[in-house]
Chains A and B, each alone.
Chain A
Amino acid sequence: MSSAKPDGATTPAAAVETPLRRFASDYLESPVAAAGLAILVVILLLALLAPLIAPQNPYNLAEVDVMDSRLPPGSESMAGLKFWLGTDGAGRDLLSAMLYGLRISIFVGVMSCLVAMAIGASIGLVAAYAGGRTETLIMRIVDIQLSFPAILLALMLIAVLGKGVDKIIIALVAVQWGYYARTVRGTALVERRKDYVEAARCLGLSHARIVFHHILPNCLPPLIVVATVQAAHAIALEATLSFLGVGLPPTEPSLGLLISNGFEYVLSGKYWISTFPGLVLLATIMAINLVGDQLRDVLNPRLRR
């Protein structure tokens, strides 16, 4: 997929249909997937630009007044700040808290996804390339890891490690690397029997070079699909952990923690504290899954029309 290079300009024939262009047009064929991508881009921009667009910095205790707590949507603070989506139990502007929470949720999801992918893919590649006992040993470890319920393993790890963004990322990586290892190993097993690997060996290239420069790029399509699914999964898992109160510190709430903060007030009519973060979480995960589904269809050679 590294074809988004200016070489299209040097070969006029390739400029008409580069792999990237075909990929883009294949992807946009489905309006639902296009909408999912659009929503995802908006959400990512909101998260990225949160400090610029949020009316309030919810982490700055000087800006937050407890007297403003649990105000309904549309009310104003003593200082005249309008709370479009109301405030939470600590008096934070819910819109601002959500933007910042989205930032944390996505950061945790993407980071854990990337680290787990790097670790899992490397392990899977090594297993497939080495074969024999090494492969059996690695894949049995993966089996054991994947046989644990993800939430249980994450809870146990958080209990040992303690709270914090870094700790939760470690826990999520530990829960998810196995999926990448299994996926990559399956693809790499097929790839490593292909002639270009034999040809690379005949060129006297080192094992590391063959594995990471020749086999890995050919394993990317399924890896990308698994990564999108697992990123959504990681965000949901983080929200679950935060909701259970073991994830992030309450001073820097993620979406899950915001939902958890509000759910005790839902029955007393203060629906907004849990509902709005919940909707954003739902939209985020749905958008990622829509994108992932379409990627899987487009990147799967067997479904090529």
Chain B
Amino acid sequence: MTAPDAPTIEVDGLRTHFFTKAGVVKAVDGVSLSVRRGEILGLVGESGSGKSITGFSILGLVDPPGRIVGGAIRFNGVDLATLDGEALRRLRGDRIAMIFQDPMMTLNPVLRVDTQMIEAVTAHRSIGRTEARDLAAAALAEVGIASPERRLAAYPHELSGGMRQRVAIAIAFINKPDLVIADEPTTALDVTIQAQILYEAQKLCRTRQTAMIWITHDLAIVSSLADRIAVMYAGRVVEDGATADVVGRPLHPYTQGLIGSVPSANRRGQRLTQIPGMTPSLLDIGPGCAFRNRCPRAGDDCAADPAVLTVAPARAVRCVRPLLGVGA
């Protein structure tokens, strides 16, 4: 196979565009990231920054009018663009799994839990139903569900939200995938349940040595979960680095703005800083830094496309006026 420290997934200059009647929406425009085994990458960004589309691009599930127009996605060293639809289908759910945001919606309401879990197994392995059911029970026990046999016979509406998300995680991990993409899986849950779900996902990721991409808009969540963080803005990764570095010493003004708007990062009584303006429409994005209209440090040189500046190994920022020497 591949070398032990080679990345499980390597996305290089990925560009996914949507060809709508109003024009070309550059949802993902040059995203590069890589995740190794047992590593959790937090992909952070506002709504519409392209983080979910990055996830779907990796799975090969970008629906028309969307299309991957450039870049490469290498999974275990294999370029996914060279695979046909059937090979990609076999990869999905087996080697690459996905966890979604709303557990109320991602389980089929009319099928029992065991039916859906057994299906996830038998779609990829030729084993009997009883054997698959045993696997399903074991997977449920592993995500902390008590009396898995009873839960297997339940319909999704008989389970609580947290329980359903546990089931969804169990389904994602049931085939021992190499990569799990989690698309804001805790957003729809109570804070207390959130913590439990984060714990279960992190535990599974570490023990199974699974690579994980945790997509979220909540910097607070990934700062306690992820090993590395990639911050996305308007379809691009603007900053990338180890969690402590990105949260502790942000280089990009946008990251700094994000951190400043997290309540716990500020002292009591102090005003929360906010980023002025809104995410630009991805339709009419011109050349230059997409953040410059909202950026407190913007200048004339920001009208040119900022190059990726590699500050240190595995520490990069896409900004012409990075916050070097600030903070620390």
Contacts and interface: CB of A to CB of B under 8 A. Distances in A.
Contact of A199 (B106, B112, B123, B158): B106
Nearest to A216: B110
Interface of B: 59, 61, 89-94, 97-98, 100-102, 105-112, 119-120, 123-124, 149-150, 153-155, 158, 168, 171
B178 to A, nearest CB: 14
A14 B120 contact: no
Nearest to B97: A202
A203 B92 contact: yes
Given A203-B119, A203-B171, A217-B110, A11 B105 contact: no
B59 A7 contact: no
A217 B154 contact: no
A205 interface: yes
Interface string A199-233: 11111111001000110011010000000000000
A205 B112 contact: no
Contacts of A194: 105
Contacts of B94: 204
Contact of A218 (B91, B93, B108): B108
A202 B108 contact: no
Contact of B154 (A11, A213, A218): A11
Given A11-B153, A11-B158, A14-B158, A198 B93 contact: no
Contacts of B150: 10-11
Given A202-B93, A203-B171, A218 B109 contact: yes
Given A3-B155, A217-B111, A202 B61 contact: yes
A180 to B, nearest CB: 19
Given A7-B112, A214-B108, A202 B155 contact: no
A196 interface: yes
B100 A195 contact: yes
Nearest to A3: B155
Nearest to A14: B158
B108 A206 contact: no
Contacts of B154: 11, 14
Nearest to B119: A205
A72 B225 CA distance: 89
B59 A202 contact: yes
Given A201-B61, A202-B92, A196 B109 contact: yes
A300 to B, nearest CB: 16
B60 to A, nearest CB: 10
Contacts of A204: 89-94, 123-124
A205 B88 CA distance: 11
Nearest to A203: B93
A14 B91 CA distance: 37
Interface residues of A, number: 26
B153 A195 contact: no
A4 to B, nearest CB: 13
Contacts of A11: 150, 153-154, 158
A274 B156 CA distance: 54
A111 B175 CA distance: 43
Nearest to A12: B150
Interface in A108-126: none
18 contacts: A7-B153, A11-B150, A194-B105, A195-B100, A202-B93, A202-B98, A203-B92, A203-B97, A203-B123, A204-B90, A204-B91, A204-B92, A204-B93, A205-B123, A213-B111, A214-B111, A218-B110, A220-B110
A187 B168 CA distance: 25
B100 A198 contact: yes
B119 A196 contact: no
Contacts of B106: 195-196, 198-199
A203 B91 CA distance: 9
Contact of B98 (A3, A7, A199): A199
Nearest to B108: A196
A3 B110 CA distance: 9
Interface in A1-46: 2-3, 7, 10-11, 13-14, 19
Contact of B153 (A10, A199, A218): A10
Nearest to B156: A196
